[in-house]
Amino acid sequence: MSFTTQLAWDDTVLPFQLDRADIRGRICRLDGLLNQVLAQHDYPEKIEALVAEMAMLTALIGQTIDLRWKLSLQVRGDGPARILATDYYGAEKGGEPARLRAWASFDKDRLDENDTPFDLIGKGYFAILIDQGDGMKPYQGITPLAGGSLTKCAETYFAQSEQLPTRFELTSGRSTLPGDAEAWRAGGVMLQHMPKASPSVSDEGGSGEGGVLSASDLLDDDAEENWNRANILLSTVEELELIGPTVDPAELLVRLFHEEAPRVYDPQSVKFGCPCSEEKVRSSLSIYSARELTHMTTENNEIIADCQFCGAQYVLDPQTVGKDAKATE
């Protein structure tokens, strides 16, 4: 495959459907976007791995939602990796790319080289938030951190909160192509059983870890057979097929699911995007009084605000922000 073809699939989500199994899905590749996200920060490699996994999940999930504005994934824990946060902004017009940003907060002094990336989070929660913009009530769904990975947390969320059997197969890491510098690459597949009436769920909970729902609790016999078969086929995918330059997503679909009659739809490109601005910083500071703003003011009589996602820095005159400034406009 030519280098041009390889680049054509970077930072792209390809939607598909398996007609014979009532399953929809997405294949995603993040390359340039992921490196741009991680270049904003000096993260240790295990924190980078968590951010990469979050970014992949966000790109796959975001493309399944009829999104007017923003989808956010948030993970908060009591371990060294305190916060993981991503935002996905749907394309404003047909043909335009979606935008994605990601960020992590961590305690460097508490990092243990023996811990897995997921272990660094500790106990906490995984949340999905959907904001459809002004005048619309935001949606929030929360699930405990369990299963040994962020991917398993996302699967649990969909089973528990949406009652949709969902499977992710993701891989990411640093790689080097001939003639190129080392860079992060990530690829993944999402499967989701098409929404339909589910078997009644027992009040006693599901069969998953801690009593959460699993696919077997949500599907009847025929649907479960189709779901299990698709999952077995997905389990045969190789890491290089997800992130390497020799197999494009459409070819991978045929290789994995040719007997399930895969049908592909228009791909969606995704790019790094951060909508922060001085105007939004001023708006966020408008709730503070002049007295409160003095605690944020430097010795040089400035308020300095840094964007956690992209690193942009805004330097403001404290006399021009806050409640008092707004009242005198």
- The answer to whether 141 and 153 are in contact (CB under 8 A) is no
Predicted local confidence at residue 255, as pLDDT: 94
pLDDT digits (tens, 9 = 90+) for 265-310: 999 999 999 998 999 899 888 888 888 888 899 999 999 988 889 8
Q: Report which DSSP code applies to 31.
A: S
Is residue 167 very low, low, confident or very high in pLDDT (cuts 50, 70, 90)? very high
Q: What is the mean pLDDT of residues 91-101?
A: 89
Predicted local confidence at residue 6, as pLDDT: 44
Predicted local confidence at residue 103, as pLDDT: 96
Residue-averaged pLDDT of the chain? 87
Choose which CATH entry (2.40.160, 1.20.1280, 1.10.3470, 3.90.1280) describes domain 278-327: 3.90.1280
pTM, 2 dp: 0.86
**What does residue 223 show for φ and ψ, rounded to 5 degrees?**
-65, -40
Distance CA 247, CA 233 (A): 17
Q: How far apart are the first and last CA of the chain?
A: 60
User: Does 321 have pLDDT greater than 80?
Assistant: yes
- The answer to whether 154 and 114 are in contact (CB under 8 A) is no
* Dihedral Cα 121, 126, 132, 133, nearest 10 deg: -40
Q: How many helices (H) and strands (E) does the chain have?
A: 11, 13
pLDDT digits (tens, 9 = 90+) for 193-220: 987 644 444 455 565 665 566 666 778 7
Distance CA 170, CA 149 (A): 11
Q: Which fold has domain 10-272?
A: Hsp33 domain (3.55.30)
Length of the chain: 329
List the domain boundaries for the chain: 10-272, 278-327
Distance CA 272, CA 131 (A): 19
Tokens of 130: 């959907």
Q: pLDDT exceeding 90 applies to what percent of the chain?
A: 58
**Positive or negative, the Cα torsion across 140, 133, 69, 132?**
positive
Predicted local confidence at residue 93, as pLDDT: 81
